[in-house]
Amino acid sequence: MSSIPGENQYRHLPQARLVAWLDQADSIIASAAKLTISPKDFTEILESLSNERKDSWIRELVSRGHGSPLEHSVYVFEIVCSRACSHQLVRHRHASYSQLSQRYSDRFLRRLVEKASALVNSPVPEGFAEAAGVLEEAGGSLSDFNTLLDLVSEAYVIPPTMVKAGETWFFKHLLKATAAYYKALASQTPYEDARYLLPQAVKTRVLVSMNARELLEVFLPLRMCSRAQWEIRMIAWELRNQLVKTHPAIFSYAGPRCVLMENRVRNNPCSLNDYLEGKCSFTIQRCPELVPNDKIPSCLKNAVNNPSP
């Protein structure tokens, strides 16, 4: 899985990867668009469509906001993020989700317990009470910032602000909360009730399916914006980068809402890179977030700069 921003040492940040897609998505989308005005059948259109015409049809869809042909292509992502972030993710209704259940799996938390036991030179605990004891010992005896960060990153997403602060109290609080969770389980509290003790930073795994229209017109514009919450913004930018590598004819136009809005009023839409490199300028008076025209380029560049780890 691809970590964000791309290195394994950033395990405290969310992770995302594109796992499945329709290989001919760009050709199918372009052919579907042409089908609406052509007397030919779909197969004939698909087989005769040149790369140049394919790109032209997709560009026309973006410019006109004719989104229905984009719905013929679906992309599947695997995302590891915090529960706080997954609550934002599932608000996107035109998508399908399968999420790791906290009632039946404590996979990430068990990894935390196993690493903590190694750090305090204790056998890997088999019972819940022993797990709580190991975590309490780790929280009380460990003091090195990087050691604690590496430890809690097994089970939790850590905000960059907490990393930049360089203090350990946040990490120790996570260990204390996890110990309380295992104490509750030891007292025969059901998983579904014990999980109420866990911080929202706890990691979860979600499989997400979205079609190209949802991605281009809703999810990416909303979540790539500099006004989006940092974690889901990091995920959106990472997914956009992977999508561009997979189907550049479609997703080179993907960007925050200012890009979507500007491309709708231009005769020829521009790619996100064209805006970032200054090859295309914004003509809209203000973006949907009410940023005035002269401030949009700098706001867009701020959106690219995800919180540093």
Domain boundaries of the chain, sorted by first residue: 8-99+204-304, 107-197
3-state DSSP helix/strand/coil % of the chain, to nearest 5: 55, 10, 35
Least Cα distance to 246 among 3, 68, 26, 7 occurs for 26
The confidence score (pLDDT) of residue 10 equals 73
Instruction: Tell whether residue 212 is among the known ligand binding residues.
Output: yes
Least Cα distance to 178 among 106, 105, 83 occurs for 106
| Contacting residues for 178 by C-beta, under 8 A, at least 6 apart | 109, 112, 113, 135, 155, 198
The token duo for 5 is: 């921003």
- In the residue annotation, 223 being an active-site residue is answered as yes
Instruction: Tell whether residue 92 is among the known ligand binding residues.
Output: yes
The confidence score (pLDDT) of residue 229 equals 94
pLDDT by position in tens, the chain (length 309): 444 444 445 789 999 999 999 999 999 999 999 999 989 999 999 999 888 888 999 988 888 888 899 999 999 999 999 999 999 999 999 999 999 998 888 889 999 999 999 999 999 999 999 999 999 999 999 999 999 999 999 999 999 999 999 999 999 999 999 999 999 999 999 999 999 999 999 999 999 999 999 999 999 999 999 999 999 999 999 999 999 999 999 999 999 999 999 999 998 899 999 999 999 999 999 999 999 999 999 999 988 876 544
Instruction: Tell whether residue 103 is among the known ligand binding residues.
Output: yes
The confidence score (pLDDT) of residue 306 equals 61
Instruction: Tell whether residue 264 is among the known ligand binding residues.
Output: no
The predicted model scores a pTM of: 0.92
The helix or strand, by DSSP H or E, that contains position 16, with its residue range, turns out to be strand 15-21
Instruction: Tell whether residue 24 is among the known ligand binding residues.
Output: no
The confidence score (pLDDT) of residue 304 equals 84
The confidence score (pLDDT) of residue 267 equals 87
Question: Which residue's entry shows tokens 């399908």?
Answer: 96
Instruction: Tell whether residue 195 is among the known ligand binding residues.
Output: yes
- How many Å apart are CA 86 and CA 232, to the nearest integer? 8
CATH architecture of 8-99+204-304: 2-Layer Sandwich (3.30)
Residue of 223, 233, 240, 257 marked catalytic? 223
